[in-house]
Amino acid sequence: MHLTLRQLKVFEAVARHLSYTRAAEELHLTQPAVSMQMRQLEDAVGLPLFEQLGKKVFLTEAGRELQHYSRNISQQLSEAAAVFDELKGLQRGRLNVTVASTANYFVPALLAAFNKRFPAVSISLDVTNREGLLRQLQHNETDIVIMGQPPEEYDLESAAFKDNPLVVVAPPGHELDGRRKVPLKRLEKEVFLVREHGSGTRIAMERFFRDHGIDITTGMEAGSNEAIKQSVQAGLGLGLLSKDTINMELQLKQLVVLKVEGFPIMRHWYVVHRRGKRLSRAAVEFKQFLLERPGARATG
């Protein structure tokens, strides 16, 4: 069986997206080029790797087996590249970082500072939701993840490096704006705009109110912090957001933070990777950079 690394790379993208179009976009190829690579790969394997039912693409049994091996091959090649980078010193290398959408408000500044220290390192940044983060960790598709509280059921190594206070936000002029201390029970009279199910912020919010016996009313569900902020500004309800996401709106006086009893909810940002993963030299240096920078919170 004669396979090429290029074919495996294209296969991995198609298998991950279950879409020839999205794989082509990711790899900057045309869809016919992707289809041709997959036909050649199927000819080499001697079995169909995909089946199409309607408009949906599915992996066959052979495709699922090849996906397993292609992941192992990719991991081995990444580890080999990391070893070679270490032998050469950090004069080059690649850092793959995946962050929660909320963390993207401060991570680019950290990456810029890291890049000044190691300008030869090529950096790839992917921004996704919590579900996407966990999928990438499970499939070993990234070096470092920056996220909120990692789930205990995953075999991960994590360290907190930054506080992540969650605050209640309202539009300026709201009747609770300016009050020195808003009783927690008072929030039951308000409508809260919430992130999608599975969001770390929503999980923390629901746990906090449940633990304090507060029955809140939820209104519109939104898939991004920007949607929550703009909806709060429009007067559709209150929001619970990471303070990292609203610095500009506070400066422009487009939002206000309510002084609610028991708030802020103090959470933390974590630098995370799979336990036992052989990190590249660039990934090791970036992790140390996060944990040792001035004002960092270094806890396990």
Chain segment 55-78, per-residue pLDDT in tens: 889 999 999 999 999 988 888 887
Structure tokens at 239: 């929001």
Provide the pLDDT for residue 139: 86
76-162+268-292 CATH: 3.40.190.10
Residue 299 has pLDDT above 50, yes or no: no
Residue 152 contacts by C-beta under 8 Å, 6 or more apart in sequence?
none
**Which of 76-90, 153-167, 195-209, 249-263 has the lowest average pLDDT?**
76-90
Does residue 264 have a cis bond before it (omega within 30 degrees)? yes
Top-confidence residue, 151 or 177? 177
Q: How far apart are CA 93 and CA 95, in angstroms?
A: 7
- Tell the burial category of 30 from Cβ atoms under 10 Å away from its Cβ (0-12, 13-18, 19+): exposed
Q: How far apart are CA 61 and CA 169, in angstroms?
A: 50
CA torsion, ordered 284, 276, 148, 110, to nearest 10 deg = 10
- Give the pLDDT confidence of 211-225 residue by residue, as tens digits: 999 998 988 888 888
Structure tokens at 40: 């050649």
Mean residue pLDDT of the chain comes to: 89
User: Do 76-162+268-292 and 165-266 agree at the fold level?
Assistant: yes
Q: How far apart are CA 52 and CA 145, in angstroms?
A: 33
Q: How far apart are CA 94 and CA 60, in angstroms?
A: 33
5-70 architecture in CATH? Answer: Orthogonal Bundle (1.10)
- Give the pLDDT confidence of 136-146 residue by residue, as tens digits: 988 888 999 99
Structure tokens at 272: 């995370």
Number of neighbours of residue 162 by Cβ within 10 angstroms:
20
State phi, psi for 28 to the nearest 5 degrees. Answer: 60, 45
Question: What number is the average pLDDT over the span 93-120?
Answer: 91
- Tell the burial category of 117 from Cβ atoms under 10 Å away from its Cβ (0-12, 13-18, 19+): exposed
Would you list the DSSP string of 65-91?
A: HHHHHHHHHHHHHHHHHHHHHHHH-TT
Domain boundaries, the chain: 5-70, 76-162+268-292, 165-266
State which CATH number among 2.60.40.420, 3.40.190.10, 3.60.110.10, 2.30.30.90 fits the domain covering 165-266: 3.40.190.10
The Cα-based distances of 130 to 179, 201, 223, 268 in angstroms read 34, 10, 11, 15
Q: How far apart are CA 8 and CA 18, in angstroms?
A: 15
